[in-house]
Amino acid sequence: MTTSRLAALERAEPSLVPLARRLLDLAESGLPSMLLPGGEAFAFTMAGTRAPDGSWRLRRRGISTRYAAITALGVRFLPEDRQRAVLAGRTAQEFTGLLVEALPSVTGLGDAALIAWAAADTGHPKLSDALARLDALDDRTRPQYTVEAAWVLSALAAARDTADVERPLAAARDRLLRSRTGGSPLFPHATGPGLLPWYRAHVSCFADQTYPLQALARAHATGPGDAEALAAADACAARICALQGEGGQWWWHYDARTGGVVEGYPVYSVHQHAMAPTALFDLAEAGGADHGAAVREGLRWMTEVPELAGHPAVREPLILDGLGVTWRKVYRGDPRKAVRAVRGLATRAVPGLRLAPLDRVYRPLSVDRECRPYELGWMLHAWLGGRT
C-alpha cells in the first residue's frame, strides 16, 4: 500500500522508506501472535526472554481492552484480507463489534473512548451504543487524565459524520483547552487538580502532548473549523519538536507549567515510530504546521539508537523482524526510577533544575525487552492513515 504519508516520506527522504515499510511488515506479522486463544482479545504485553541458545522467546502476559481498540484503529487501514489475517479471520469492524458488545462491563473512560473511536472509524452499526456508554462514563464535573480526555475528543470527532455529538464534543474540547496552566503550550497529566500528588502535579508525559494535539487537530478538521483548537495543537507540537533530542529522541517527562523537559528517559520506540508520527501527520493534514523533518528524525532513531551506539557491549537492535516486535524502550536502569523521582521533586521547587551529575551516574544503556499490541496498532495508524 502507498499512502500520502509514505509518499511524502519518499519525496523527503527516500532512504527511510525501506525502514517504514519494514516496520509495517513487522506489525502485520507480529500482531497475530499477540491475540489470545480464540482471537477475541489482545494480550497486554509480549515479554521477551533469552533462551540458552541465545535466541529470544516471547510470552503473552495479561489482557488489555484499550490495546485491542487501538489495534483495531490501525488494522482497519489494511485491505480486508489482511485485516482477517491479523485478527484471526475477522475484519477490524467485526473485531470492534466484540469490543462494543463488551461495553457494559467496561468501566474505564479511556477504554470506552477508544472503543467508540474504533466503532466510528470502522463504521460499526452499533456506534450509538458505544457513544452512550462513553457519555455515561464521562463525568464532566471531575478532572480526568489528559490522555483519556483526549481520546474522548478524538472519538467524538470521528463520530461527527454519523451522530449528533456536538454538545459533548464542545465540552471535551473545552476541557482540554482549559487544562493548560501558566501560558505553557504543553498539557498537564490531568485536566484539573485532585488526581495527582502535589509534588508531581507539574509533571506530564509525552502521551499527554501527542493525544491532545491530535484530538484538537481532528476536532478542527472534522467540523466547520476551530482556529483556537488548531492553534493550541500547533503550539504544543512546535514545543515538543523544539525539545526533540539531537538523536531524534522524543523525551518522556515535561514540566507542564514552563514547557521544559523534566527527564528525557526512557525513550520509547512507540513514540519514535508511531505516536509522534500519527499525531503530527494528523496536525499537518488538518491545516497545521508540517513537522515532517522531526518525524523523520524520530524514525531514524529506531535503527541508529545513539544511546547504545557507542557501547558495543550493550548495543542490540530494537527491531526484531523474526519475532514481529520492536523492543519497548531504552532506559537508565536506575533503581526505583530514581532519576525521574529526583528531577520531578527538584523541578517542582526550581523549574528547569537539571542536576546534571545524574546523567553521568545513570546512563541510558538498558533495553526493555517487551512489545505491546498498541505499539503496532498505532504504527499502522500512523503510516497507513491519512489520504490514500
Structural domain includes residue 385: no
28-32, 282-286, 354-358: least confidently modelled range: 354-358
Per-residue pLDDT tens over the stretch 252-276: 999 999 999 999 999 999 999 999 9
Structural domain includes residue 165: no
Structural domain includes residue 174: no
Distance CA 130, CA 149 (A): 16
Structural domain includes residue 215: yes
Task: Check pLDDT > 80 for residue 311.
Answer: no
Task: Check pLDDT > 80 for residue 342.
Answer: no
Task: Check pLDDT > 50 for residue 30.
Answer: yes
Per-residue pLDDT tens over the stretch 53-80: 888 999 999 999 999 999 999 999 999 9
Structural domain includes residue 137: no
pLDDT value for 309: 84
Q: Which residues contact 20 (CB under 8 A, 6 or more apart)?
A: 6, 9, 299, 383
- Kindly indicate the confidence band of residue 388, based on its pLDDT and cuts at 50, 70 and 90: very low
More confident residue, 359 or 79: 79
Structural domain includes residue 85: no
Q: What average pLDDT does range 19-45 have in this prediction? A: 97
Q: Which residues contact 247 (CB under 8 A, 6 or more apart)?
A: 297, 301, 304, 305, 306, 307
Report how many domains make up the chain: 1
Q: What average pLDDT does range 224-228 have in this prediction? A: 97
Distance CA 93, CA 381 (A): 15
Could you list the residue range(s) of the whole structural domain that residue 203 is in?
Answer: 179-315+329-368
Per-residue pLDDT tens over the stretch 147-161: 999 999 999 999 999
Per-residue pLDDT tens over the stretch 94-121: 999 999 999 999 999 999 999 999 999 9
| Mean of the per-residue pLDDT values of the chain | 94
pLDDT value for 360: 73
pLDDT value for 354: 67
- Amino acid making up residue 150: A
pLDDT value for 242: 98
pLDDT value for 227: 98
Give the chain as a 3 state SS string. Answer: CCCHHHHHHHHHCHHHHHHHHHHHHHHHHHHHHHECCCCCCECCEEEEEECCCCCEEEEEECCCHHHHHHHHHHHCCCCHHHHHHHCCCCCHHHHHHHHHHCHHHCCCHHHHHHHHHHHHHHCCCCHHHHHHHHHHHCCCCCCCEHHHHHHHHHHHHHHCCCCCCHHHHHHHHHHHHHHCCCCCCCCCCECCCCCCCHHHCCEEECHHHHHHHHHHHHHHHHCCCCHHHHHHHHHHHHHHHHCCCCCCCCCCEEECCCCEEEECCCEEHHHHHHHHHHHHHHHHHCCCCCCHHHHHHHHHHHHHCHHHHCCCCCCCCCEECCCCEECCEEECCCHHHHHHHHHHHHHHHCCCCCCCHHHHHCCCCEEECEECHHHHHHHHHHHHCCCC
Structural domain includes residue 115: no
Q: What average pLDDT does range 318-322 have in this prediction? A: 96
Q: How far is CA 80 from the centre of its chain?
A: 24
pLDDT value for 119: 98
Structural domain includes residue 67: no
Task: Check pLDDT > 50 for residue 228.
Answer: yes
